[in-house]
Amino acid sequence: MSSSRKVVELFYDVVSPYSWLAFEVLCRYRNVWNIDLKFKPAFLPGVIYGSGNQPAGMNPSKLTYIVSDLTLLSEYFGVPMFRPSDLSDKDTLSAMRFVTALAEKEKEGDMLVERVSRELWKRKWRTHQDITQPASLTEAGLKAGLSANVVKEILSLSKSQPIKDKLKSVTQEALEYKVSAFNLHLCTLCLAHQKIFVVEKYNKMSLHIFPPFLQCFGFPFIVCQVNGKAKVFFGSDRFELMAYFMGNYNGLGIY
């Protein structure tokens, strides 16, 4: 399987720190795993609303855990980030339209999308700078290596109806992405000594209790395809299972 065609799609919003972690790790493993990594900028509030989920910040216990969790994950993955003093400022609609416009302009490859997304995450989660105003997006674009003329063009394009529709469509694409939850035996997997052991199998589960499809309910939402066979993953802690699915599991290290 290691020589199979592997495509990994990352649906993300720069409002999500977990998406940043997934973004950086997938970029590091892009060549190691020999994957075709595709960035899918989308709008997290649209996914939260569309899936019937609730923002994690609405649960005080969950929010406290997330703050502690991100501190440890930041150290582990080597991606410095710090909690903004004002978590209420979560409007990334303009930022994600900006990234979407850049993605539409950059038809060949995702290099500029990668750079600009990273700068926006840094502003949001490291230096705590604004990412909502045109001047702020201009600063991020220039720092990412865009020329002043290109930034001006992307800003104008980001306000157009086609780009607004594109962001909506990618967000909807994430919501509508369905992978059967029952096309294989459901297994409980135990990771030990860098090997995967199947410890328990279930052949049947009640459709009255569990929905028949795995669907997007938050970001990062990662779709891995190997020779047309798809598997979806949520979160920034599923890399060992991704490697196992793609035939690349040899234990993980920081590259």
Cα-based angle 226, 172, 88 (whole degrees, multiple of 5): 110
* Residue 242 forms part of a structural domain: yes
Domain containing residue 127: 6-177+215-246
At 88 the pLDDT is 53
Domain harbouring 21, CATH code: 3.40.30.10
pLDDT of residue 251: 61
Q: What is the pLDDT of residues 23-57, one digit of tens each?
A: 999 999 999 889 999 999 999 988 887 767 777 76
Residue 209 resides in a domain: no
pTM: 0.81
Is residue 251 one of the residues assigned to a domain?
A: no
184 within domain boundaries: no
185 occurs within a structural domain: no
Q: Please give the tally of structural domains in the chain.
A: 1
Please report whether residue 183 resides in a domain: no
Q: What is the pLDDT of residues 171-211, one digit of tens each?
A: 998 888 765 554 443 433 334 434 444 334 433 444 444 45
16 given a catalytic annotation: yes
Residue corresponding to tokens 């939402």: 221
C-alpha 135/C-alpha 125 separation (Å) is 18
Q: Tell me if 190 is assigned to some domain.
A: no
| Candidates 4, 16, 85, 180; catalytic one | 16
Identify whether the C-beta of residue 62 lies closer than 8 Å to the C-beta of residue 53: no
Strand partners, 230: 225
Domain assignment of residue 128, yes or no: yes
